[in-house]
Structure 1
Amino acid sequence: MSENAIAMERTRPNIDLTDHAVTLVIVCLVGLVMNTVGPAIPLADGFVGMVVIYLITMVGLLLTRFAPFYLPSVAWISLVGILATLPWTPGSEWIVAQAKSVNFLALATPALAYAGFAIAKKEIEVAKHSGWKLALVACLVFLGTYAGSVLVAELILRLQGV
């Protein structure tokens, strides 16, 4: 094995595909419930769309694990999704139609809720140590983001003559 190949294998994370597959099934089931309850998309439509997204994700994870060169899994999954939906890819119209039956917010809400729960002990210690300074910076960031959004919206509305 060359030095580059050895170095690449050291940096490539060891992905447990079985663990990821089971976790993704659970995530898809939660997303399917959210997709049916929230935007009221029929269960059968959402199920097929969720299976398509699951398969795209698993192919991307397989490439992350076994491709001759390393890219992060998010890059492989994105590439597989892009290639599967290009107009000249056979069956892309069907894949796009099925994926349209999955509401993005229905998938994002549980993921963001989990991310909120997954705050590590280190982040809590940093927040305790920073105290009021962190709260002040957060408030200023929120205020700046809001003010920037208002300015952009106002500018666009004025340009349109509304």
Structure 2
Amino acid sequence: MANSAVAKQNTRPQINLVDHAVTLVIVCLVGLIMNTVGPAIPLADGFVGMIVIYLISMVGLILTRFSPFYLPSVAWISLVGIVATLPWTPGSEWIVEQAKSVNFLALATPALAYAGFAIAKKEIEVAKHSGWKLVIIACLVFFGTYAGSVLVAEGILRLQGI
């Protein structure tokens, strides 16, 4: 039993770099369209910025796949992005300038929409068993989140005298 727990800890998910590269190309194309349509950033500016983001993501995925110790891919990608934009990193000014031409809200919208559609089988089973109780709880959570946001915003606006 203890050996299987140790073996489970030592295994890491295998990343198929080709699949991830193709998926990232599709995501970048959708993001580029959203970046051009939404905030009206010129296509050429957004294209170069998207290539920079694509390369940072791919380097992070390569590190996830081949590093001697395991970190999740989001950690590696974040570390690569941080190191690439540190002031003493050669070319960091150019990388930051190119990344500024990508509106990250335009990138988040399709990603969040996909996450909303990507409901796992387990979540559907939970919804079937919970039934109407889940709907009531969801409505209360949405209302509570909205009301809490309104109260915080109102308090901040009153403190600023607006």
Normalised by the length of structure 1, the TM-score is 0.90
For residues 1-162 of structure 1, the aligned pairs below 5 Å read 7=7, 10-162=10-162
Q: How much does 1:25 deviate? A: 0.8
Deviates more, 1:91-100 or 1:51-60: 91-100
Contact 1:24 1:54 in 2 (8 A): yes
Q: How much does 1:117 deviate? A: 2.0
Matched to 2:66, the amino acid is: F
Matched to 2:98, the amino acid is: Q
Matched to 1:31, the amino acid is: G
Matched to 2:91, the amino acid is: G
In structure 1, distance between residues paired with 2:117 and 2:142? 21
In structure 1, distance between residues paired with 2:100 and 2:106? 12
* Partner SS state of residue 158, structure 1: helix
Q: How much does 1:7 deviate? A: 4.1
Q: How much does 1:120 deviate? A: 2.1
In structure 1, distance between residues paired with 2:80 and 2:33? 25
Contact 1:56 1:80 in 2 (8 A): yes
Q: How much does 1:37 deviate? A: 1.3
Q: How much does 1:8 deviate? A: 7.8
In structure 2, distance between residues paired with 1:70 and 1:12? 7
* Partner SS state of residue 139, structure 2: helix
Deviates more, 1:20-29 or 1:46-55: 20-29
CA-based RMSD of the aligned residues comes to 1.8
Alpha carbons of structure 1 residues 16 and 103: separation in structure 2 relative to 1, 3 Å: same
* Partner SS state of residue 41, structure 2: coil
Return 5+ residue gaps in structure 1 as ranges: none
In structure 2, distance between residues paired with 1:8 and 1:124? 28
| Cα distance per residue 1:84-123 (max 9 Å; x no partner) | 1111211111111111111112211111222222212221
* Partner SS state of residue 70, structure 2: coil
Of all paired residues, the percent bearing the same amino acid is 87
| Cα distance per residue 1:97-152 (max 9 Å; x no partner) | 11111111221111122222221222122112111111111111111111211221
Q: How much does 1:160 deviate? A: 1.4
Deviates more, 1:35-44 or 1:9-18: 9-18
Alpha carbons of structure 1 residues 120 and 9: separation in structure 2 relative to 1, 3 Å: closer
Q: How much does 1:9 deviate? A: 8.1
In structure 2, distance between residues paired with 1:153 and 1:43? 35
Normalised by the length of structure 2, the TM-score is 0.90
Number of residues of Structure 1 aligned to a counterpart in Structure 2: 158
Matched to 1:28, the amino acid is: C
Deviates more, 1:87-96 or 1:120-129: 120-129
